[in-house]
Amino acid sequence: MHLARFPRVRLFPTPTPLEKLENLTRHLGGPEIWIKRDDCTVVATGGNKIRKLEWLVGEARAQGADHLITQGAVQSNHVRQTAAVARRFGMKCTALLERRVGTNDRDYLNSGNVLLDRMFGCAIEYRPPGLDMNAEAVAKGEALRAEGAKPYVIPGGGSNRVGSLGYVSCAQELVQQADEMDLHVDRLVTATGSAGTHAGLLVGLQGCNAGIPVLGIGVRNPKDRQEAAVHSLAEATADYVGVRGGIPRATVDANCDYIGPGYGQPTDGMKEAVLMLARLEGLLLDPVYSGKAMAGLIDLIRKGKFDKNERVVFLHTGGQAGLFGYTGMFEHAMEQTG
């Protein structure tokens, strides 16, 4: 793999920290849990979309674009990160927000990521749930082009073969970082949503023959659909970067048992995980992705699915700004648990 062939902008210093979670490891009695801090990608409170945007905005600039268009749920971390990066490069940003989570909660609708989108001067349009949101974004791009803009349309979550390069590159970074620390990594665990993170990691790890399996914890789709989405994007990305032989379907592993009632809907496990990491490690997870992924990891550990001597790296994909879209729910959870 030779990623320098593709246009890129640089947005944050690498490598992001790789740290041992001593207290959580002790609390759960093994395996050894480490965390890769992709919440520390600097721009606009950070998160995994910043890695993808390095390549997406690189391509947008190479094409002479002056306006980024993207889409997501109301509390989308991806939209917030895209809106910020657009400003950094003097571009406009238009976001289509899908009312995917049925709630009238004031903080959900106005605070957290939505507040930050507005601070970055992002033009927001709302859409009802259930539309083909990527098609909506393409149509919006065409409308802006007709008005004289030079649009660049980024799919939801930045998940296409260009955005996935961010996680091909992250996999290379992690392997090199672990090697320098003499750290043998047995498994990588990540939240998996629009699939670009999971797919990019599989391609990057395969491309460096790392032999590190990836477990994705789903936040939206049933297992079959999630694995199919990750596999098809991984194949497209492998082809794009020239990883020969493709990505075997059997290496795509998504556990979708921790979604609860649906995307962005709180679960007891998520609340427990967010509070556990806050109180044991002084670390902030988010309610939609990393909180549910950590809830999955904790539950699977309790069920004995990991060897006590294994070393697991949890990829922290960010999203803390989303906590402020869910304040009432956490206030309630803390009243219950003290």
Active centre residues (catalytic): 76
User: Site for ligand PLP (CB under 6 A): which residue of 290, 313, 321, 324?
Assistant: 290
The pair of three-digit structure tokens given for residue 337, joined into one six-digit string: 């648990």
Binding residues among 120-179 for ligand PLP as defined by CB under 6 A:
157, 159
Give the nearest distance from C-beta 37 to ligand PLP in angstroms.
12
User: Site for ligand PLP (CB under 6 A): which residue of 36, 51, 78, 231?
Assistant: 78
String of contacts with ligand PLP for each residue 190-229, x by CB under 6 A: -xxxxxxxx-------------------------------
The strands making up 67-73's β-sheet, listed across from edge to edge, are 123-127, 92-98, 67-73, 151-153
- Is 60 in contact with 68 (CB distance < 8 Å)? yes
Q: Is the peptide bond before 261 cis (omega within 30 degrees of 0)?
A: no
List Cα–Cα distances, 35 to 16, 21, 157, 159, in angstroms.
10, 7, 22, 23
User: Site for ligand PLP (CB under 6 A): which residue of 41, 70, 77, 206?
Assistant: 77
Give the nearest distance from C-beta 109 to ligand PLP in angstroms.
18
What residues pair up with 255 in beta bridges, in sequence order? 217
- Is 231 in contact with 247 (CB distance < 8 Å)? yes
Which is it for the CA torsion 221, 225, 231, 236, positive or negative? negative
| Helix then strand then coil, % of the chain, to nearest 5 | 50, 15, 35
User: Site for ligand PLP (CB under 6 A): which residue of 34, 120, 258, 289?
Assistant: 289
- Could you write out the DSSP letters of every residue in 174-221? HHHHHHHTT----EEEEEESSSHHHHHHHHHHHHTT----EEEEESSS
Give the nearest distance from C-beta 29 to ligand PLP in angstroms.
27
List Cα–Cα distances, 239 to 35, 51, 208, 229, 244, in angstroms.
29, 20, 15, 16, 7
The pair of three-digit structure tokens given for residue 278, joined into one six-digit string: 């806050």
Q: How many residues bind ligand PLP (CB under 6 A)?
A: 20
Give the nearest distance from C-beta 196 to ligand PLP in angstroms.
4
The pair of three-digit structure tokens given for residue 275, joined into one six-digit string: 């509070």
For ligand PLP, the closer CB: 31 or 193: 193
Give the nearest distance from C-beta 199 to ligand PLP in angstroms.
8
Looking at 91-99, 124-132, 285-293, 298-306, which segment touches ligand PLP (CB under 6 A)? Answer: 285-293
Give the nearest distance from C-beta 290 to ligand PLP in angstroms.
5
Binding residues among 41-60 for ligand PLP as defined by CB under 6 A:
47-48
Contact set with ligand PLP (CB under 6 A): 47-48, 77-78, 157, 159, 191-198, 286, 289-290, 317-319
